[in-house]
Amino acid sequence: MTLLIDNRNSIDGPGFHALIVGVSQYDFLPNYDDPPDAATWNLCSLGSPTLSASAISEWLMGHAGLTKPLKTLRLLLSPTAVEHTSFTVDQPTWDNFNRAVREWRADCADDCASIAFFYYGGHGLARGRGEHNALLTMSDLFDPRYAKLNKTAVTQNLLDGCAPQSNTDTISRNQIFIFDCCRTFPDEMKNFDDRSVPPILNVSFVNGVPDDRITARFFAVPDNTAAFASVGSQTYFGSALLDAFQNAGRNERPGGWRVDGMAISQRINSRYTTLSQRMPVALMDWNGPTLINLSGPPAVDIKVQLEPTVRATGRNVGLERFPDPLVVGVEETCGHHNVRVEPGEYELKVSYPAPATNWFDTNDRQIILPDFVNPWVARGWP
Kindly report, residue by residue over 259-289, the tens digit of the pLDDT: 999 999 988 887 776 555 566 888 888 889 9
User: Contact at 8 Å (CB) between 125 and 152?
Assistant: yes
Of the candidates 38, 174, 191, 20, the one whose C-alpha atom is nearest the C-alpha of residue 108 is 174
**Average pLDDT of span 96-125:** 97
Q: Compute how many other C-beta atoms are within 10 angstroms of the C-beta atom of residue 6.
A: 12
User: Contact at 8 Å (CB) between 297 and 251?
Assistant: yes
Q: Each residue of 287-310: pLDDT tens digit?
A: 899 999 988 888 887 777 776 665
Q: What is the pTM of this model?
A: 0.88
Per-residue DSSP letter, 129: S
CA 155 vs. chain centroid, Å, equals 16
Measured CA to CA, the distance from residue 69 to residue 62 in angstroms comes to 11
Q: Is 232 exposed, middle or buried (0-12, 13-18, 19+ CB in 10 A)?
A: middle
Q: Each residue of 200-211: pLDDT tens digit?
A: 999 987 888 999
Measured CA to CA, the distance from residue 155 to residue 135 in angstroms comes to 6
Measured CA to CA, the distance from residue 95 to residue 274 in angstroms comes to 32
Measured CA to CA, the distance from residue 10 to residue 5 in angstroms comes to 11
User: Contact at 8 Å (CB) between 227 and 220?
Assistant: yes
